[in-house]
Amino acid sequence: MIKPTHIVVLLVVVLLIFGANRLPEIAGSIGKSMKVFKKEVKELREDEETPVAQQPPAQIPQQPQQGTYYTQPTQAGQTAPQAAPQQPAAPQQPQPYTDGTVQQ
């Protein structure tokens, strides 16, 4: 348990270490720090209490399916050009990794 004599001894040691001129500056600095700390704690608690607004899921644009093509309407007597179906590209062979150094 802390006794009053312990507090007095602690204050005397602090006074000897920092000096009488710096004690008001130190006390003011500690006060400002505590004020900022309390403000941040309060904001964190408010953020936790405020429920996050439910946002609808983002719409994913639909990709055209492979093999379906759009053709323009034609007038009588014209024929629409037929698009050739695209062949999937052949997979490339993996290339060996080189770090740019020359081996001798």
**C-alpha–C-alpha distance, residues 14 and 5, integer Å:** 14
**C-alpha–C-alpha distance, residues 24 and 14, integer Å:** 12
pLDDT in tens, 45-76: 988 877 655 556 666 666 656 666 556 666 66
Q: What predicted TM-score, i.e. pTM, was given to this entire model?
A: 0.38
The confidence score (pLDDT) of residue 87 equals: 66
The confidence score (pLDDT) of residue 50 equals: 73
The confidence score (pLDDT) of residue 47 equals: 86
The amino acid that residue 83 corresponds to is A
Judge whether residue 31 has pLDDT over 90. yes
CA 82 to chain centre: 49
The confidence score (pLDDT) of residue 51 equals: 65
Give domain limits for the chain.
Answer: 4-49
Half-sphere exposure of 7 (CA within 13 A, CB side): 4
Half-sphere exposure of 14 (CA within 13 A, CB side): 11
